[in-house]
Amino acid sequence: MTDKTLTSSGFYVSQEAPIHADNPIATPSSPAPDILRCAYMELVVTDLAVSRAFYVDVLDLTVTEEDENTIYLRSLEEFIHHNLVLRKGPVAAVAAFSYRVRTPEDLDRAVAFYEELGCRVERRAEGFTKGIGDSVRVEDPLGFPYEFFYETEHVERLAWRYDLYTPGALVRLDHFNQVTPDVPRAVKHYQDLGFRVTEDIQDEEGTVYAAWLRRKPTVHDTATTGGDGPRMHHVAFSTHEKHNILAICDKLGALRRSDAIERGPGRHGVSNAFYLYLRDPDGHRVEIYTQDYYTGDPDNPVVTWDVHDNQRRDWWGNPVVPSWYTEASLVLDLDGNPQPVVARTDASEMAVTIGADGFSYTRPGEELPEYKQGEYKLGHQL
Amino acid sequence: MTDKTLTSSGFYVSQEAPIHADNPIATPSSPAPDILRCAYMELVVTDLAVSRAFYVDVLDLTVTEEDENTIYLRSLEEFIHHNLVLRKGPVAAVAAFSYRVRTPEDLDRAVAFYEELGCRVERRAEGFTKGIGDSVRVEDPLGFPYEFFYETEHVERLAWRYDLYTPGALVRLDHFNQVTPDVPRAVKHYQDLGFRVTEDIQDEEGTVYAAWLRRKPTVHDTATTGGDGPRMHHVAFSTHEKHNILAICDKLGALRRSDAIERGPGRHGVSNAFYLYLRDPDGHRVEIYTQDYYTGDPDNPVVTWDVHDNQRRDWWGNPVVPSWYTEASLVLDLDGNPQPVVARTDASEMAVTIGADGFSYTRPGEELPEYKQGEYKLGHQL
Amino acid sequence: MTDKTLTSSGFYVSQEAPIHADNPIATPSSPAPDILRCAYMELVVTDLAVSRAFYVDVLDLTVTEEDENTIYLRSLEEFIHHNLVLRKGPVAAVAAFSYRVRTPEDLDRAVAFYEELGCRVERRAEGFTKGIGDSVRVEDPLGFPYEFFYETEHVERLAWRYDLYTPGALVRLDHFNQVTPDVPRAVKHYQDLGFRVTEDIQDEEGTVYAAWLRRKPTVHDTATTGGDGPRMHHVAFSTHEKHNILAICDKLGALRRSDAIERGPGRHGVSNAFYLYLRDPDGHRVEIYTQDYYTGDPDNPVVTWDVHDNQRRDWWGNPVVPSWYTEASLVLDLDGNPQPVVARTDASEMAVTIGADGFSYTRPGEELPEYKQGEYKLGHQL
Amino acid sequence: MTDKTLTSSGFYVSQEAPIHADNPIATPSSPAPDILRCAYMELVVTDLAVSRAFYVDVLDLTVTEEDENTIYLRSLEEFIHHNLVLRKGPVAAVAAFSYRVRTPEDLDRAVAFYEELGCRVERRAEGFTKGIGDSVRVEDPLGFPYEFFYETEHVERLAWRYDLYTPGALVRLDHFNQVTPDVPRAVKHYQDLGFRVTEDIQDEEGTVYAAWLRRKPTVHDTATTGGDGPRMHHVAFSTHEKHNILAICDKLGALRRSDAIERGPGRHGVSNAFYLYLRDPDGHRVEIYTQDYYTGDPDNPVVTWDVHDNQRRDWWGNPVVPSWYTEASLVLDLDGNPQPVVARTDASEMAVTIGADGFSYTRPGEELPEYKQGEYKLGHQL
């Protein structure tokens, strides 16, 4: 852990993302497309009516358009056609992690970039979903279905329509999170695609458990979480304030659907954002997120957390539930078949933290109080 | 469960507290003192400097006065001398649950009331602590050290001193919570003392696990929680808004003292308040609490929760940690010696909910999703 | 101004309400009814559909019941049938300021109390509105239509129904505010009725401009504001948090009805609450209010504000708009005819503060900065 | 007003900023420097101790470094040396609007860009202030002292240090605002410098009253406000949530400094942000700001407001105080002398809105209610 500076908050900062891949994917000579931001996710759901009830009636996303097989949803501040697509299908999975690029010409760059990598690439001038024009979809080197587009139908940004806001109003799509077995390999590849690392979790031997990567100047547009993959860990929408997230919990309680709450609410260590994790009717994980920080300067300090710091994933030290580590959604190839899942071989974050031999701490070198120990050493029982 | 009406929120309401004691304490013929509100708790702490750091530097209570053995603290909206006393002593315990009464004459009533019950009673014209005048302390029939007073020194109510507020500012003492083996017996006695039940937790056989009792028109001035007792479960201070409670968590994280967070933050089912439970350096439990409802009408509906409803203690269905059920503070007799603790013989709420044979539900008759089951069936392992 | 103590916040506190009536109403020998709290207001509105749109569609009050002439509304935490009645009528006015009393027998006390005062009294066993039983209405000595009742139909308290909450959710009726020419005379009479003064506004010569009076332990159940009267100044509902009040403003903006906002939002000096004043379609003023303080102790310090302190009505020093001082709703006699309005002869608060000869200050003895002076000396122009 | 679409919120959107300069500044052939964001402002203050009390004791900015003539301040999420410099000087004024650029080479571009425009340019390898390296300062074609730099000393980002947060914690520098007589001319020039218009205010004849311009993907890094100029209208810091802004007002009240509040708090129409305007001890205007929206897509819809829409500057329709329109800070040339102020000749926003002949509306074509009219037609009296 060289060239890292310990901060007064207990984590480290450095200038270069301190992550090195032993088994890197080649860097294409073709320039990467200029990605603006994560733009939408296409989710395959098994019962469209049940999913609609969750995303529209509970989470109050706005329906831009819908038909019997597909619902196009957006958050209140979005002006492009949608930032979530629900499509009916036989197996719950993710059909696309879709990014908006700066210009139409970036699609040509995307094609060249992935073809040079030997990836399967498909381009459709009319788009893969309604409301989106010329698009490129690929099976990326890590097995994820990535999409790039520029053309889109504009819809009204409803930011000022406070008559439509509910107490838990979602305003923006914030980020994706991908599960992949080899985090450094994934980081290196996404750096080649133009992403920058903002934070990561490591141990003292340099094992990397997760990393956060951004294009827009927030903490992330996507993150790579170590685990059996390729799988989708979660998709995150943001609210304006913390009370909006609490209101979603309150509403789920009132609807007797509190079992949709998997983890949180809480304050992240990583990202410093306030969060909540829900599970939709198919088990797809949705994060509600607010208030991370600006990362747009090229020398933005990279934050590295110790995997044994029990404030890294929850700043208040509340334990992470095991399902959050182990469960995730399948992703589809371009034929719509689930990608096979490859097991992680590096150490598991759950095992080294809440496992029976976990060594999590609030203050380095100090034991947790007795009433806290059970919470952190349950791994083998669960 | 007769004469109870099921509400659309999943709990029941009734007009009379549906609690009957099999082994009641006699009702005195002497009238009870007219209690205004819970007023202060006297806590014995083992290291005054360490406790001061917690209550003054972390929780930002205001020091009214202090000397080498005692610190007198108050919240920002209080105008009486203190609502928390920290006194240095050899064993962490509670020396007094202190209530303010309406008139000086109510002290005579308190003496008569408890003498008729055969309780040990001590009256001091100069008070037991600084800032409080003529006072009566008793060992009540359940073994708790109760105090009553009217006379007190006024200090400035700092409600408008926003220059002194911190993000987690505590504004009022809200309530006490007492652990006692036989809840119906305790409820009956405190009803004799003039308290009214606002909510309780029962099972289908009528076992009462906890009850909430009020004088001022909030959900409670004290509560009786079933368990080995007499012990003090917690003392609660209120904030103005929910974000103030989140700010306390954030600050504990920043100070690397997040292990002081035992449970929460969350939304209670009972009381509908937003909450957080902390443990002070001696393990005394402090709740931070905000936004329950007005209960001052004589026909205020009594709310009864099913013990198997996993939203009763956390409206979001987050599980209660075992230590919250099992750990509590000793209470002292009038000589300053810890009261012996008597075991509960009725069923334990922890056993019937998070135990291996627990039957908690979000929706009656429905199993929890797989990722939630582990959280609710851990009792025998903990 | 004897026996007042200057606080560090710039106002004074004293033990006795420092208000003396020169022209008092006689104190009845009959005991006053035991009032619990302000319970509901009956408003006469000229267009029921237009008023329904305001109170139901904009403010989201819950309709308990309605017919072609009357709408019965309640806030989310209320368990009695209604706390606002809208009744269609030819002239916008207030038909009743209604208080709940502790027992059915308090109605007999109310009858005796007002009959001794020579007031017109009407009692109806079946109530004056739906959902309310045996009731007494009077034309009180100040000309206000007061009602007292105990019997009421219980409805579900919707406090836990977060699926029904909107961002600006109203949870309780908090208080009334009455305009009357002679404030000390009104205060003395309402003290006879059992109210206690919590705060008032005076000048150095002892002119009283307004006073706040409570039964429940908040800052007020009603207030008396100096002006031409009897008239109704406003009725106030409370929210849980400040952002709820801001959300109402945001929604009014979105609906292009921001002209319903008359004053605020802001922080009151008096009461320390956060506030907003709206005007309904008939011009009835509605306050939205949150977070005053507990006043239930018999020796609760009475707060007296200097009328020249420009933080007394808005803690941030924002000026009060003239209409807020001058406009108010008519009140009806028991035949439904508007009570004649009598002019105030004491000094007007508006004249002595924002008038051309006003002497408002932020810090006693200091001039306001130039950019503020215009705001405080506009009275003669408006 | 061609190619504009009326939204359901009452303003218009279009693809191209609908602003055309009649008297444009030439577009340099040299490429503009690649600006990341507004980075800091250097303010000249006349009494350093008094200003320190305002910015450090009241607003709680963090002192990175200070000496007898200069104080370097930053907000909690900043990692560069400072985002506000207070320097002692004889005349209150602005010495620099400083922007961070993407690379050291952008300084060469800045030099070439402004030299081609014939502007005075000064470059200092050691920087003009502590903590900043190689810098270029210019007197821009509109008379403003602009600075560009890349090199800076990193300091700890205190985002996680919640023990340092106060209720009104400032987290980021958000934007500048410049007063200039000819808005279209200024817009055209700043577009040449790489800025993009996000919103503007016009009348039906195409007079442009103000425009908002961004580099980072928020509503602005700077804005141009029509008026006598060059002058500095305000510098804005952001908070996380709206209650943080209210807390600043509350604290100013508690300190008896509420006269520092010039306008607000309120919700902007333009930007949709929540705001407050303060005046520092020298009269420099500081905005506190939170929650605008993402603008980073190249086809982000440009919002145009009608100058007569009284929700454009305050979504709640609260009137803008005259001083806000007329008062602003002088700016300095590179010798430290105030730039002469040139009068605006286009129509004044204040005159056409709150003037005696103002025609502001809440709903187009409808008169304001009587109690609102006075507020909007006071211009000639003030």
Question: What are φ and ψ of residue A309, in 5° steps?
Answer: -75, 110
Q: Report the gap between the CA of A246 and the closest CA in chain C (Å).
A: 11
The answer to whether the CB atoms of D102 and A154 lie below 8 A apart is no
Compute the average pLDDT of residues A11-40. Answer: 94
The answer to whether the beta carbons of residues C38 and C221 sit under 8 Å apart is: yes
Q: How many angstroms separate the Cα of C227 from the Cα of each of C182, C187, C243, C340? A: 8, 14, 32, 13
pLDDT at A2: 56
- In C, which residues are within 8 Å of A59 by CB distance? none
Residue B354 above 60 pLDDT?
yes
The answer to whether the beta carbons of residues C92 and C329 sit under 8 Å apart is: yes
Compute the average pLDDT of residues B342-353. Answer: 91
Give the CB-side neighbour count of residue C133, counting CA atoms within 13 A. 10
Nearest-CB residue to B159 (from C79, C240, C293): C293
**Percentage above 70 pLDDT, chain A:** 96
Residue A381 above 80 pLDDT?
no
> To 5 degrees, how large is the angle CA B133–CA B139–CA B143?
140
Give the pLDDT band (50/70/90) at residue A74. very high
Identify which has the larger pLDDT, B359 or B139: B139
pLDDT at C359: 72
Give the pLDDT band (50/70/90) at residue A92. very high
Q: Report the gap between the CA of B315 and the closest CA in chain A (Å).
A: 5
For an interface test with A, the pick among D37, D157, D238, D309 (most A C-beta atoms closer than 10 Å) comes out as D157
* CA-wise closest residue to B275 among B224, B236, B225: B236
Nearest-CB residue to B36 (from C13, C296, C301): C296
The answer to whether the CB atoms of A269 and D160 lie below 8 A apart is yes
The answer to whether the CB atoms of C103 and B297 lie below 8 A apart is no
Residue C172 above 70 pLDDT?
yes
pLDDT at C18: 78
pLDDT at A360: 87
Q: Check CB contact of A34 with chain D, cutoff 8 Å.
A: no
A351-365, C81-95, C121-135, D106-120, range with the lowest pLDDT: A351-365
Q: Check CB contact of A8 with chain D, cutoff 8 Å.
A: yes
pLDDT at B27: 97
Measure CA B57 to chain center: 23
- In C, which residues are within 8 Å of B36 by CB distance? 296-298
* pLDDT, tens digit (0-9, with 9 covering 90-100), for D76-100: 999 999 999 999 999 999 999 999 9
pLDDT at D357: 56
Tokens 């000096």 belong to C269
Give the pLDDT band (50/70/90) at residue A301. very high
Q: Check CB contact of C258 with chain A, cutoff 8 Å.
A: no
The answer to whether the CB atoms of D100 and A297 lie below 8 A apart is yes
Residue A305 above 90 pLDDT?
yes
Give the pLDDT band (50/70/90) at residue B236. very high
Distance CA C351, CA C359 (A): 10
The answer to whether the CB atoms of A254 and C167 lie below 8 A apart is no
Distance CA D26, CA C246 (A): 45
Nearest-CB residue to D317 (from C243, C261, C381): C261
Q: Report the gap between the CA of C166 and the closest CA in chain A (Å).
A: 6
Judge if the upstream peptide bond of residue D230 is cis by omega within 30 degrees of 0.
Answer: yes
Give the pLDDT band (50/70/90) at residue B17. confident
- In A, which residues are within 8 Å of D8 by CB distance? 156, 161
Nearest-CB residue to A163 (from C160, C169, C251): C251
* pLDDT, tens digit (0-9, with 9 covering 90-100), for C294-319: 999 999 999 999 999 999 999 999 99
What tokens appear for D147 in the block?
């600075």
Per the DSSP assignment, residues forming a β-bridge with A377 are none
Count the neighbouring beta carbons within 10 Å of the beta carbon of residue D255. 17
* pLDDT, tens digit (0-9, with 9 covering 90-100), for D7-25: 999 999 999 777 899 999 9
Q: Check CB contact of B257 with chain A, cutoff 8 Å.
A: yes
Give the pLDDT band (50/70/90) at residue B376. low
HEC sequence for chain D: CCCCEECCCCCEEECCCCCCCCCCCCCCCCCCCCEEEEEEEEEEECCHHHHHHHHHHHCCCEEEEECCCEEEEECCCCCECCCEEEEECCCCEEEEEEEEECCCCHHHHHHHHHHHCCCCEEEECCCCCCCECCEEEEECCCCCEEEEECCECECCCCCCCCCCCCCCCCCEEEEEEEEECCHHHHHHHHHHCCCEEEEEEECCCCCEEEEEEECCCCCCCEEEEECCECEEEEEEEECCCHHHHHHHHHHHHHCCCHHHEEEEEEECCHHHCEEEEEECCCCCEEEEEECCCCCCCCCCCEEEEECCECCCCCCCCCCCCHHHHHCCEEEECCCCCECCCECCCCCCHHHHHCCCCCCCECCCCCCCCHHHHHHHCCHHHC
pLDDT at C1: 44
The answer to whether the beta carbons of residues A135 and D290 sit under 8 Å apart is: no
A178-187, A358-367, B217-226, C56-65, range with the lowest pLDDT: A358-367
pLDDT at A358: 64
Q: How many angstroms separate the Cα of C355 from the Cα of each of A251, A349, C311, C379? A: 49, 69, 16, 4
- In A, which residues are within 8 Å of C164 by CB distance? 254
pLDDT at D382: 40
pLDDT at A221: 98
Residue C376 above 70 pLDDT?
no
Residue C2 above 90 pLDDT?
no
Q: Which residue of D has its CA nearest to C255?
A: D9
Residue A255 above 90 pLDDT?
yes
Compute the average pLDDT of residues A21-46. Answer: 97
For an interface test with D, the pick among B162, B252, B257 (most D C-beta atoms closer than 10 Å) comes out as B162
Q: Check CB contact of A315 with chain B, cutoff 8 Å.
A: yes
Distance CA D348, CA D355 (A): 10
pLDDT at A379: 42
The answer to whether the CB atoms of C301 and B157 lie below 8 A apart is yes
Q: Check CB contact of A291 with chain B, cutoff 8 Å.
A: no
Average pLDDT, chain A: 95
Compute the average pLDDT of residues B264-278. Answer: 98
- In C, which residues are within 8 Å of A166 by CB distance? 166-167
Compute the average pLDDT of residues A377-382. Answer: 46
Judged by CB atoms within 8 Å, which residues 199-238 of D form the interface with C?
none
The answer to whether the CB atoms of C246 and D249 lie below 8 A apart is no
Q: Check CB contact of B374 with chain A, cutoff 8 Å.
A: yes
- In B, which residues are within 8 Å of D165 by CB distance? 167, 247, 250-251
DSSP label at B53? I
- In B, which residues are within 8 Å of A310 by CB distance? 258
Q: Report the gap between the CA of B86 and the closest CA in chain A (Å).
A: 22
ipTM of this complex: 0.96
Give the CB-side neighbour count of residue D310, counting CA atoms within 13 A. 31
The answer to whether the beta carbons of residues A165 and A185 sit under 8 Å apart is: no
Average pLDDT, chain C: 95
* pLDDT, tens digit (0-9, with 9 covering 90-100), for B37-83: 999 999 999 999 999 999 999 999 999 999 999 999 999 999 999 99
Low-confidence ranges of chain D (pLDDT < 50): 1, 379-382
The answer to whether the CB atoms of B315 and A371 lie below 8 A apart is no
What tokens appear for B359 in the block?
């039957």
pLDDT at A124: 98
The answer to whether the CB atoms of A251 and C163 lie below 8 A apart is yes
pLDDT at D378: 53
* pLDDT, tens digit (0-9, with 9 covering 90-100), for A106-163: 999 999 999 999 999 999 999 999 999 999 999 999 999 999 999 999 999 999 999 9
- In B, which residues are within 8 Å of C102 by CB distance? 298
Judged by CB atoms within 8 Å, which residues 140-179 of B form the interface with D?
160-167, 169
pLDDT at B1: 44
Q: Check CB contact of B318 with chain D, cutoff 8 Å.
A: no
pLDDT at B54: 98
